[in-house]
């Protein structure tokens, strides 16, 4: 394979390390960039070379397009991998990179641009026969036209910003009394958040599932899918738990959905790894948008297909034809991802940045941890609060759940509050165990109301561990840490 000699990773944290791991396996040299507070971050230590690019604020560092391209040119990197977030879906950046004679590891700036407009992409996919929900073609330019459309398709409807995505500016309208206000407010929000007031109105689905299909396409126009992920468990558009495959998938639905995903990729001339997002409700599915980047949850697809998605991204970007035909890709088993955030769910998920005092990651059968933290590391308050992705794999869904429970039990993170106890409660929720998830799951299942006891247990677990460590029993291995903790817990129970 003709790979790159050197790649710059324009990102930080776990995803920067994930990308560097693929590079290391392939003998590709890696270049890290970092902001001032990330001086001691793991991604900096892992890379072959590292360049300070600016101060903490993302606009000065991880969003500083000119500076990043300058560094890539200086160190003669042939390609830039943007990871997710930051510049990953910024078509200006992709264009700047292309113009500098450097390969952007992702789709073309044109494709990113097209998929950035929810209206244009919807129009194109609808024309190509991909199912979409009824919507106002061409956008809503007047309140009167918007009202007329809403009356025509019937309530409830949802007002969305064309340049949006991720839920910003979305408003649900249940009857005619709120529609005029929602249209006007929608335009104002779209203008201020995206600099583009274009909005559209769509039929609203009440409690849909979020199902997405992973695709890979090469420069020859050959595309394959890597099956689907179910990502319904989220809070305010931040995903918390994802799984692959979707627990309610049928062969018929899968065939139609993956076909649609490949059509979407074809219609927008897609290259590299991407994800086609659908909403599913009562047997029907509808195209929402395409994420033109490597996603956080790509890991679970890797676990159930065995395909190394980042390795394929590097191969595709360097001009290789796809390494697999569709019939070589099969699903085996079940994988779950829990996003571990440095947040306090009992305090409205407020970020809880701070120093990691003790850290032991779980291991053993069917466990994969992707994290960017270590003992002594101070989580900077300026960036995303996700500090680790805990993934489990099993031949069956219940085995994956049981392994996840066991891994959560083994996981020790001292110094910051985390979402681990929330995941503990989710992995014991009856509806989750049965696979009955949807986008309003957390609220409907009143997960937050029953959370306190999980956090109280975690508090005592952590105190026990901290006390044992203060006595000088410094643990040197996972087993040692876990054994100390189990002994103390058992003593507590007998007393
Ligand atoms: C919707 C919807 C219901 N009906 N559109 C939110 C983010 C964006 N990608 C699409 N979103 C939604 N669009 C219609 N017509 C419900 C959501 C939605 C949602 C979607 C996926 C995952 C979580 C969600 C949480 C709330 C609402």
pLDDT in tens, 129-143: 999 999 999 899 899
Judged on CB neighbours under 10 Å (0-12, 13-18, 19+), 66 is exposed
State percent of the chain over pLDDT 90.
Answer: 89
Output DSSP code: residue 154. Answer: -
Q: Stretch 396-420: mean pLDDT, rounded?
A: 96
List 414's β-bridge partners, or say none.
358
Per the CB < 8 A criterion, the answer to whether 175 and 151 are in contact is: no
SS3 134: coil
Query: Is the confidence at residue 222, as pLDDT, over 80?
Result: yes
pLDDT in tens, 95-138: 999 999 999 999 999 999 999 999 999 999 999 999 999 999 98
The stretch 383-401 carries a mean pLDDT of: 98
Burial of 90 (0-12, 13-18, 19+ CB in 10 A): middle
Task: State the DSSP string of 395-459.
Answer: SSHHHHHHHHHHHHHH-EEESS--SHHHHHHHTT-HHHHTT---TTHHHHTTTGGG-HHHHHHHH
Task: Work out the pLDDT band at 492, boundaries 50, 70, 90.
Answer: very low
What integer is the mean pLDDT of 476-486?
52
Instruction: Tell me how far the alpha carbon of residue 69 lies from the centroid of ligand 1, in angstroms.
Output: 35
Between the CA of residue 147 and those of 159, 204, 303, 378, what are the distances in Å?
Answer: 11, 15, 47, 51
Pocket test for ligand 1, best of 182, 201, 208 (most atoms within 8 A of CB): 208
Q: What is the pLDDT of residue 166?
A: 76
pLDDT at 421 over 70: yes
Cis status, amide bond into 245, omega within 30 of 0: yes
DSSP class per residue in 339-389? EEESEEGGGTTEE---B--EEE---STTEEEEE---TT-B--TTS--EEEE
Q: Given pLDDT bands bounded at 50, 70 and 90, which one contains residue 482?
A: low
List the single range of 166-175, 178-187, 365-374 with lowest mean pLDDT: 166-175
Name the residue with tokens 């083994």.
410
Confidence category of residue 290, pLDDT binned at 50, 70, 90 = very high
Question: Residue 119: phi, psi to the nearest 5?
Answer: -70, -50
Average pLDDT, the chain: 93
Residue nearest to atom 18 of ligand 1 (CA): 439
Which of 168, 439, 441 gets mutated to test ligand 1 (max ligand atoms within 8 A of its CB)? 439
Q: Confirm or reject: Cβ of 442 under 6 Å from ligand 1.
A: no
How many angstroms does the Cα of residue 167 sit away from the middle of ligand 1? 7
Q: 23 pLDDT band (50/70/90 cuts)?
A: very high
Beta-sheet pairing, 343-344 with 367-371 = unpaired
First to last CA, the chain: 63
Q: Which helix (H) or strand (E) holds 392?
A: strand 386-394
The better pLDDT of the pair 449, 167 is held by 449
| Residue 3: per-residue pLDDT | 78
CA of 241 to the centre of ligand 1 (A): 16
The best mutation among 133, 167, 238, 289 to test binding of ligand 1, ranked by most ligand atoms within 8 Å of the C-beta, falls on 167
Is there a cis peptide before residue 156, judged by omega within 30 degrees of 0? Answer: yes
Q: What is residue 484's predicted lDDT score, i.e. its pLDDT?
A: 56
Per-residue pLDDT, 201 = 97
Distance 41 CA to ligand 1 centre (A): 34
439 lines ligand 1 (CB under 6 A): yes
Active site residues: 293
Contact 7, 31 (CB under 8 A): yes
Weakest-pLDDT range from 338-342, 360-364, 488-492: 488-492
d(CA 394, CA 405): 12
Report CA(291)–ligand 1 centroid distance (Å): 14
Atom 3 of ligand 1, residue of closest alpha carbon: 205
Name the pTM for this structure: 0.94
* Region 192-220 average pLDDT: 96
What is the pLDDT averaged over residues 370-397?
Answer: 96
């Amino acid at each position: 394979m003709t790979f790159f000699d050197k790649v710059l990773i324009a990102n930080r944290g776990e995803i920067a390390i994930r990308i560097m791991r693929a590079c290391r396996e392939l003998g590709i040299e890696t270049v890290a960039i970092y902001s001032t507070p990330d001086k001691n971050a793991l991604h900096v230590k892992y890379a072959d070379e590292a360049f300070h690019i600016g101060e903490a604020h993302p606009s000065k560092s991880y969003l500083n397009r000119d500076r990043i391209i300058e560094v890539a040119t200086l160190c003669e990197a042939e390609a830039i991998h943007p990871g997710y977030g930051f510049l990953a879906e910024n078509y200006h950046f992709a264009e700047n990179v292309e113009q500098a004679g450097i390969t952007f590891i992702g789709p073309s700036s044109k494709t990113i641009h097209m998929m950035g407009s929810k209206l244009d992409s919807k129009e194109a996919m609808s024309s190509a026969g991909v199912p979409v929900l009824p919507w106002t073609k061409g956008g809503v330019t007047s309140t009167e036209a918007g009202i007329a459309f809403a009356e025509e398709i019937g309530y409830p409807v949802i007002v969305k910003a064309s340049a949006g995505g991720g839920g910003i500016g979305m408003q649900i309208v249940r009857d005619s009394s709120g529609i005029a206000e929602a249209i006007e407010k929608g335009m104002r929000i779209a203008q201020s958040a995206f600099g583009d007031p274009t909005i559209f109105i769509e039929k609203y689905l009440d409690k849909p599932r979020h199902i997405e299909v992973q695709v890979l396409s090469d420069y020859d126009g050959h595309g394959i899918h890597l099956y689907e992920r179910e990502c319904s468990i989220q809070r305010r558009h931040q995903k918390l738990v994802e799984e692959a495959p979707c627990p309610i998938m049928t062969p018929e639905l899968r065939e139609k959905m993956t076909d649609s995903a490949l059509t979407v990729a074809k219609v927008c001339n897609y290259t590299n790894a991407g994800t086609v997002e659908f909403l599913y409700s009562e047997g029907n599915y509808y195209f929402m948008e395409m994420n033109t980047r490597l996603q956080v949850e790509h890991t679970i697809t890797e676990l159930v297909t065995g395909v190394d998605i980042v390795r394929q991204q590097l191969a595709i970007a360097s001009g290789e034809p796809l390494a697999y035909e569709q019939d070589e890709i099969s699903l085996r088993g079940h994988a779950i991802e829990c996003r571990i955030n440095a947040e306090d769910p009992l305090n409205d998920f407020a970020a809880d940045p701070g120093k990691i005092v003790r850290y032991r990651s779980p291991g053993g059968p069917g466990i994969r941890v992707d994290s960017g933290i270590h003992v002594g590391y101070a989580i900077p308050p300026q960036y995303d609060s996700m500090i680790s992705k805990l993934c489990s794999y099993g031949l069956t869904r219940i085995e994956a759940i049981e392994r996840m429970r066991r891994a959560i039990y083994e996981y020790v993170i001292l110094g910051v509050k985390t979402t681990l106890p929330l995941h503990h409660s989710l992995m014991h929720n009856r509806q989750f165990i049965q696979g009955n998830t949807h986008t309003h799951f957390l609220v409907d299942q009143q997960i937050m109301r029953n959370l306190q006891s999980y956090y109280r247990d975690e508090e005592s677990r952590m105190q026990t561990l901290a006390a044992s460590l203060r006595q000088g029993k410094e643990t040197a291995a996972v087993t040692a840490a876990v054994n100390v903790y189990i002994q103390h817990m058992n003593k507590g129970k007998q007393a």
